Amino acid sequence: QKEVEQNSGPLSVPEGAIASLNCTYSDRVSQSFFWYRQYSGKSPELIMSIYSNGDKEDGRFTAQLNKASQYVSLLIRDSQPSDSATYLCAVRVGMLTFGGGTRLMVKP
Amino acid sequence: EAQVTQNPRYLITVTGKKLTVTCSQNMNHEYMSWYRQDPGLGLRQIYYSMNVEVTDKGDVPEGYKVSRKEKRNFPLILESPSPNQTSLYFCASSPGTAETQYFGPGTRLLVL
């Protein structure tokens, strides 16, 4: 069983809609959670980090963490075509472990 | 400018020919790591280093070597590359293990 699971997608949403990306993890002692965005052929770049249960908002992005259910999600409001990328969920238990990523496509 | 640099960015080589991919960071970070990224498998950690002269295996260390003689540099060595090491490689650094990592631009390797 993979330690960090993401639906590979593609997830297709129309411009202006809310994109919802989900991630589940297996290790209950995980402490730190990150969302990275990766454009095709480029390196991952950090979007959000979250450490405690609840929501964390930064501009159009909201990260949600539920440690009891072992999932973390990323909401992107008012999605733009420039948000089209692969989104990587990463969980730290000692090492940083990445999920396989979800490809998001925002259609104009 | 704070950055992680990797060289070369693209490399085509043949099976068995030793190669080194360099990684350097100018942020005085203690923690550095190497990942490979393959379609459908995501980012997998190869090796990491907590500080100078301290290195440890990640999830997929077979066929790779690293060294950390200086804080800023963390080269990845493939002593005898094989076609299954064809991949996109990323170097990353962070101030400590608990903080987010900053990634280099990537090195695309093709082993024939």
The band of B98, judged by pLDDT with boundaries at 50, 70 and 90, is low
Instruction: Indicate the Cα dihedral angle B63, B25, B103, B39, nearest 10°.
Output: -20
Q: Report CB contact under 8 Å: A95, B45.
A: yes
| pLDDT for residue A3 | 86
- Bond into B95 cis (ω within 30): no
Whether residue B48 is predicted with pLDDT greater than 70 in this model: the reply is yes
Strands B31-38 and B87-94: antiparallel
**Nearest CA-CA distance, residue A15 and chain B, Å:** 27
Whether residue B105 is predicted with pLDDT greater than 80 in this model: the reply is yes
In this predicted model, what pLDDT tens digit does every residue of A17-34 receive, in sequence order?
Answer: 999 999 999 987 878 899
| pLDDT for residue A2 | 62
Nearest CA in chain B to A7: B40
**Nearest CA-CA distance, residue B104 and chain A, Å:** 7
* Stretch A36-48: mean pLDDT: 93
* Contact between A35 and A88 (Cβ < 8 Å): yes
Closest CA to B87 of B13, B16, B26, B31: B13
- CB of B44 within 8 Å of a chain A CB? The answer is yes
| pLDDT for residue A31 | 81
